Structure 1
Amino acid sequence: MVAISDLTPPRSRSTSVSTTNSDAALPSFESLAPPRPPTTKAAEETHVLVDGLKDVVKLKVDAGPGCGGIAWPAGEVLSRYIAYRHQINPSYLRNKKILELGSGTGLVGIVAGMLEPSAEVWATDQSILLDLMEVNAELNLPTSTTQRRNVHIAEYNWGEQVPSTIPIENIDVVLAADCVYFEPAFPLLVKTLCDLAPIGKEIEILFCWKKRRKADKRFFIMLKKYFNQYIIEDDKSGEKEIYNRQGVNLVKLVRKKQ
């Protein structure tokens, strides 16, 4: 088990407001997205087209809870990748237990659930985003008296114990898109990834992010101690070149055998 104290961010000479004092206590994960009045109106809905799905993905977006309530490019890239993998290998997600971290709008988890009805998906984020994720899950995978929805919405605060509602021992796939954006959360995210992928467990972790700031490199310095990173090379022809030009990267994380 990795302790938060083992993941203290390195000191920096930068005067950026995002730089943290390594001697200061880390904030709780819930404090990283302070509540603000919701901004979504009934008409505010975006559609995401993902090849391999017969329907577009309908999303309500809401900047009120913070940046997590918006659909970001990395989420679309990761969604298209798992759809392509599923297209060329229909058994890819069959009967899998899938966990999405930092789901925000719920996009990637919803796509996984739409692709494979036999999969069980847990889309997770802070409590402030759960209502939005629930609305979007219901928009795309409505429950009925005869059909149970296979996408479950759950609160999961990075760095904390995995909620009892999530079968951590049985998770086969972890999906994470655009989770690298706020320095105080870096150690919490690394600890969470370590908790989900203990040494020796066979698990697939797909991690997608958009390069934005030099400070983000500190996250990958922390991550490198525990995980190897492998650039995804089996995406649809031409896709990687497109999203790389947009500053988006997609990798597979594999826990080191320390």
Structure 2
Amino acid sequence: MVNITDITPPRSRSASASTTSSDVALPSFESLAPPRPPTTKAEEETRVVVEGLGSDVRLKVDAGPGCGGIAWPAGEVLSRYIAYRHGIDPSHLRNKKILELGSGTGLVGIVAGMLEPSSEVWVTDQSMLLDLMEVNAELNFPASQTKRNVHTAELNWGEELPDSIPIKDLDMILAADCVYFEPAFPLLVKTLCDLAPIGKDIEILFCWKKRRKADKRFFAMLKKHFNQFTVEDDKPGAKEVYGREGVSLSRLVRKK
């Protein structure tokens, strides 16, 4: 069981949403990042090249909901890693149930679903990003496909996990560019703990771009519950390239 006080950062003048009292509930994710009207237009589409996928990933982008509605470097790094690994050994994704946290555009989860039709993937985020993720899933899977293997679902960090996702059966968690909003750090750690309880065999791939000193607070919270290991089996030379851009890719393993 995760103690809220273990993942709550100390109170500071710049983090009014934080609390040191276990009697005070964590704020909701939506209250910390309130929704804004969408701004997507028909022509606002980008394409992401993922080697080994066979086709570009088409993405509608939307700055209306904030930073979640556009593609970020760590998402591309994680997408290219799972594609590279799948090319060597498809069993990593075959028949797996996969959840992407903080999906935004849905890029990483969509790539996983495109790579391996036998997988079942849930791309998740706040409610105001559901339509964008749904549009992007539809863009990348033919309308003639009888059963799409990429699903969209609302999942707010720090809150109860949705019943629409088979949480207990998940084999893999994907998370890219989720470390950016300091008040949400304890919420993200709590959700990771809920998805990967002690003793559960689950792979967690976590990719992020170093931006601010405050990010160290997140990893200090995370370290109480997870061991973190740098991914070493990426395509030769890839880590050096994205490392120069401040991007890191790790596996998280729940501590016993």
Work out whether the TM-score is over 0.5: yes
Inter-partner Cα distance in structure 2 for 1:142 and 1:32: 36
Unaligned runs of 5+ in 1: none
Deviations 1:227-248 (A, max 9, x none): 0000000000010001110000
Q: Percent identity?
A: 78
Q: Secondary structure at 2:59's aligned position in 1?
A: strand
Inter-partner Cα distance in structure 2 for 1:99 and 1:51: 22
TM-score (norm 1): 0.94
| Cα distance, 1:21 vs structure 2 | 4.4
Inter-partner Cα distance in structure 2 for 1:66 and 1:139: 22
TM-score (norm 2): 0.94
The 8 Å contact of residues 28 and 159 in structure 2, kept in 1 or not, is answered as no
| Cα distance, 1:161 vs structure 2 | 1.4
Match of 2:235 in 1: 236
The 8 Å contact of residues 9 and 218 in structure 1, kept in 2 or not, is answered as yes
Q: Secondary structure at 1:9's aligned position in 2?
A: coil
| Cα distance, 1:20 vs structure 2 | 5.0
Match of 1:120 in 2: 120
Amino acid at match of 1:142: P
| Cα distance, 1:18 vs structure 2 | 5.5
Deviations 1:54-97 (A, max 9, x none): 11000000000111001000000000000001001122200000
The 8 Å contact of residues 18 and 182 in structure 1, kept in 2 or not, is answered as no
Match of 1:225 in 2: 224
Match of 1:41 in 2: 41
Inter-partner Cα distance in structure 1 for 2:28 and 2:60: 27
Deviations 1:22-68 (A, max 9, x none): 35764211123322232221001000000111110000000001110
Q: How does 1:51-200 map to 2 (within 5 A)?
A: 51-144=51-144, 147-200=146-199
Inter-partner Cα distance in structure 1 for 2:183 and 2:203: 26
Q: Secondary structure at 1:218's aligned position in 2?
A: helix
The 8 Å contact of residues 232 and 250 in structure 1, kept in 2 or not, is answered as yes
Query: RMSD of the alignment, in Å?
Result: 1.5
| Cα distance, 1:142 vs structure 2 | 3.3
Unaligned runs of 5+ in 2: none
Match of 2:27 in 1: 27
| Cα distance, 1:208 vs structure 2 | 0.3
* Number of residue pairs the alignment of both structures matches: 253
| Cα distance, 1:252 vs structure 2 | 0.1
Match of 1:205 in 2: 204
Q: Are residues 37 and 92 of structure 1, via their aligned partners in 2, closer, same or farther at CA, if it must alter by over 3 Å?
A: same
Inter-partner Cα distance in structure 1 for 2:26 and 2:11: 14
The 8 Å contact of residues 125 and 157 in structure 1, kept in 2 or not, is answered as yes
Q: Are residues 57 and 34 of structure 1, via their aligned partners in 2, closer, same or farther at CA, if it must alter by over 3 Å?
A: same
Inter-partner Cα distance in structure 1 for 2:143 and 2:196: 31
